[in-house]
Structure 1
Amino acid sequence: MFSYWEEQSFFHYDVVIIGGGIAGLSTAISLKEKEPDLHIAIFERGIIPAGASLRNAGFACIGSFTEILDDLEHMQEDKVLQLLQLRREGLTILRKRLGDRNIDYHENGSYELIMDNEIPLLDHLDKVNRLLYPLLQGTAFSLCNERIREFGFDENKVKSMVLNHFEGELHSGMMISALIEKVIRLGIEIKTGCGVESIHEQKNGVTINIKDPENKSSVSFSAYRAAVCTNAFTEKLLPGIDLQPGRGQVLITDIIPDLSFKGIFHFDKGYYYFREINGRILFGGGRNADFAGETTTDAALNESIQQMLEGKLNSLILPGRKVTIAQRWAGIMAFGIDKFPLIKKYSDNIFMAVRMGGMGIAIGSRAGEMLADLILESGSRQSRNFGSSRRQAVSYPETPNSKPETRNPGPNHTQ
C-alpha cells in the first residue's frame, strides 16, 4: 500500500521509456530537448544498462569495405546509402551532444584486414568510393598494405589492408556515463533495477507493471506514452515483431608491452573486430561460426567461439607472441530481415526504437531523435493532456496500484 504522497509524485509520467541503453537515454534526451516540460522516466532492468550498450567494442563505425560491398549485393544502392547516412547522423549527434573528450573519442585509424580469398574484392574499391563520395564528401577507403608488417600481423594470411577514413573509437563506459549525466541534468528520472513485466494499452495512455523486489508484488505506473528501447529483449514485451537476438563474444587481453598498433580493425565482412585499448587488445565476433547457437538472449560464453577468437589472436594478430586473457564476456545484439532499425508506432500509445543491428553506438542517437519525433507528433494529434502530467496530477490514464477501471484495457503485452 502506497501513501498519498507516493502516488501523487512517483507513479505518473508523460512518457516512460523502457530500456536505459543508448537508444533509451537518447530518446529521453531528445524528448526533453524538444519539449522541456515533459515529465519523463526511464525504467532500466539492470543496476547498470544490461543490454549491448556496455558490452560492445566501442567502435564509432559506419561499416567496413567488405561489409558495405556485401550489403550492395543484397540491398539496393539507395538503401545502403540511407543506412550509412543514419549511422553518420547518429555519430554526429552523439559527438555533438556529449563532446569528444567526455566519451574519449579518437580517430587512430580504422582498418580492414583482407585475406587471400578476398583479394578480388579490391577491384570494387573505386566503385564503392565513388558511390559513397557524395554522402561522405571524401574518399572512404584506401589501401595501406605497408602497415601490415608495421603492425605485426601474419603476412601469410593478411594479404592487403584497407583504411577507412571516416571511423573512430570511443570508451563505451564513458559514453553511457555522459548520457546518464545529461539525462539527470535535464531533470529526467532513471529507475534502475526496474524490470518491466508488462505494458497495458489504455484509452488515453498506458499502464506499466513492474516487479517490486521489496514487496514481491507488482507495481503499476501510468503514462500517456511508452517508448520501448529494449533492443534484443523486446519480444518479451511486444510479441510478433521482426527481431532476432544475436549474441557477440568478446575477450580482452592483459596489458601487452610494446604493442605495435592503435586504432580499430575489422575482417570477414565485419564479423570479427579488434582494437587497442589502454595497451590491451579487445577482440570480438565470430557469430557467423555458430549463428544458431548465438541466436539467444542468454549472455553466456560460447566456449568454442572464445577458443576460436583466442586462436586467431595468437596466430593472425599477434603471431609469435604469448598473451594472456584478462576478461571474457558476451553482449546481446538484435537483428531483423534487413539492417535498418525498427523505429515505429506499435499501437496508439506504445512506440519502439529497437533492432540496432550491432550498430547501436552509431545509430542509437539518431534512432532516439526519430522516436522522440514520432511520440511528440502523436501527442499533438491525439491528446490535449499530453505533456501536462506535472501540471495536472488528476488526469492520468488510470490510478496505478488500485482497482482498474471496468472498461476493456486493450491488448496486453506481457514480458
Structure 2
Amino acid sequence: MKLSFWEINSWFSGVDYTIVGSGIVGLHTALRLRERFPESKILVLEKGPMPQGASTKNAGFACFGSLSEIIDDLKNHSEEEVIALIQKRRNGLQLLRKRLGDAIDFKPHGGYEIFPEEDTNGLEECLRRMPFVNEVLRPLFRNDVFSKETDRFGFKGTHEYLIFNPYEGQIDTGSMMQALIKEVAANNIQILNCQTVTAYHEKADGVEVALGDFSFTTKKLLFATNGFASAITDGAVKPARAQVLITEPIPNLDIRGTFHIDRGYYYFRNYGDRILFGGARNLDFEGETTTEFAETALIQNRLEQLLREMILPGTNVAIAHRWSGIMGMGSHKNPIVEQLSSHVYCGVRLGGMGIAIGSLIGQELADLV
C-alpha cells in the first residue's frame, strides 16, 4: 500500500530520533530523549500490533535474582560484576516505580525459592553460601536479603525450607505497558505499529530506514529490540523463548508472592486467585533458542505436571491461557548498550531481567546520543 503525501509529511519527514521497538526499553528511551531534546521529533517503530518480544509477555516479576541464580552468577562473573548487575536491577525497578507509580500495581509480597526433594545439594549450597551473599549485598540493601523459612504453602515433593527475599514483588505487566504508552503519547512521541524495519543505510548526515518498499531518513537510529537483536550485534544476542500458562481462578488460593525453582528456570506467582507459571526452557535449550512465538507439548506438559503435583497437589486446576515471549540472552549477563556506528545505537540483551533493568537501559541508551 502506497503512503499518501499527508502520511509521509506528518509522520516521516524531519525525524530526529527513530527508535525500533516499543517495549520497556524503547519507550523509556523515547521519554529520556524527550527530556533531553524537548523540541525534537521522535518516532517509535513497532513490528507488532502491540509491543512484541517480552515486554507484554513476561510473568510480571519485580526481582533481581534468586539466591541460587546469584550463586551461579558468582561462578561465572566476578563479585564486582554481580554486585553491579544487582545494583542496576534494583535501580531500574526504583526508576520504573518512580515513573509510573501505582499504574504498575506493585505488590510487595516478597519472593521465595523452592527446592525439590531431589535438589538437596542445591538447598545445602544456598544455605551454606547465604551468609556470604547477604554480606556482599548488605551495602546495597542495608540489611540481610535472604533468609531461611519453613514452607507454609503445602508444596509437595519439596524440602521443608524455602529461601525468602522480602525485597521482591510482582507487577501487572499489561497495566505497566499501557501506562508507558500513555506517557509517551502525552509527550508528543508517535508510535507506529505493524512497521518492520527491513534495512537501514547510514549516510553522512543520518540514516535511511527502509520499511519494505518505503524509506525515510532519520538523524539517529536506536535499536531496542532485545531478543531480536542477533543480526545487529553479530550474534552477541541469542533469542530465548519463554513459555507461560495461567490458570482459571482457584477458590481459596492461599499463595501470595513470586516463586523460583531450579536457579530461576521455573517461576510462578499468583495473579489474584490464579497461578501464572512459566519457564522450563532448560528442557530444550536448542529448541527454545528461537524468535518464533509458539508453545510446545514438552514444556507445557512439564509446567502442568509441576503445577498439579508440586504447587497445587490435590487441587482441580484448569488452564485458562498459554503464551510465549522472546527474551534476549548471551554469553554474558551484562546488557549491551553501545553506539554501533556514527548514527546507530542499541540497548539490548536484557538477560530475562527486562522489568528490572528495562527502564534504566532505555535511559542509558538515550544518553549515548
User: When the two structures are superposed, what TM-score results if normalisation uses the length of structure 2?
Assistant: 0.96
> Aligned match of 1:139 in 138, 141, 144?
144
1-side partners of 2:139 and 2:121: how far apart?
A: 30
How far residue 6 of structure 1 moved from its aligned partner, in angstroms, is 4.4
> Aligned match of 1:229 in 224, 230, 246?
224
* 2:347 maps to 1:342: no
2:70 is aligned to: 68
1:296 is aligned to: 290
Task: Indicate the percent of aligned positions where both proteins have the same amino acid.
Answer: 45
2:121 is aligned to: 117
2:251 is aligned to: 257
1:106 is aligned to: 107
Structure 1 6/284 Cα, relative in aligned 2: closer, same or farther at 3 Å? closer
Structure 1 209/321 Cα, relative in aligned 2: closer, same or farther at 3 Å? same
2-side partners of 1:320 and 1:368: how far apart?
A: 45
RMSD: 1.3
Cα contact 2:109–2:166 (8 A) shared by 1: no
2-side partners of 1:142 and 1:244: how far apart?
A: 34
> Aligned match of 2:45 in 39, 43, 46?
43
Cα contact 2:230–2:239 (8 A) shared by 1: no
Deviations 1:80-134 (A, max 9, x none): 01110110111111100010x1111110121111233322111111110000000
* 2:227 maps to 1:240: no
1-side partners of 2:189 and 2:278: how far apart?
A: 34
2:173 is aligned to: 172
Structure 1 6/54 Cα, relative in aligned 2: closer, same or farther at 3 Å? closer
2-side partners of 1:174 and 1:223: how far apart?
A: 31
Structure 1 219/125 Cα, relative in aligned 2: closer, same or farther at 3 Å? same
How far residue 5 of structure 1 moved from its aligned partner, in angstroms, is 4.7
User: When the two structures are superposed, what TM-score results if normalisation uses the length of structure 1?
Assistant: 0.85
* AA aligned opposite 1:369: Q
Structure 1 60/239 Cα, relative in aligned 2: closer, same or farther at 3 Å? closer
1:204 is aligned to: 205
Deviations 1:344-397 (A, max 9, x none): 00111000001111110001000011001101xxxxxxxxxxxxxxxxxxxxxx
SS at 1:206's partner residue? strand
How far residue 8 of structure 1 moved from its aligned partner, in angstroms, is 3.7
Structure 1 328/7 Cα, relative in aligned 2: closer, same or farther at 3 Å? closer
Unaligned runs of 5+ in 1: 212-217, 376-415
1:322 is aligned to: 316
> Aligned match of 2:35 in 29, 33, 36?
33
Q: Give the count of matched residue pairs.
A: 363
1-side partners of 2:286 and 2:149: how far apart?
A: 36
2-side partners of 1:15 and 1:38: how far apart?
A: 8
2-side partners of 1:333 and 1:159: how far apart?
A: 32
How far residue 152 of structure 1 moved from its aligned partner, in angstroms, is 1.8
How far residue 303 of structure 1 moved from its aligned partner, in angstroms, is 1.1
2-side partners of 1:321 and 1:349: how far apart?
A: 56
Cα contact 2:245–2:323 (8 A) shared by 1: yes
Unaligned runs of 5+ in 2: none
2:327 is aligned to: 333
1:379 is aligned to: none
1:129 is aligned to: 134
* AA aligned opposite 1:260: D
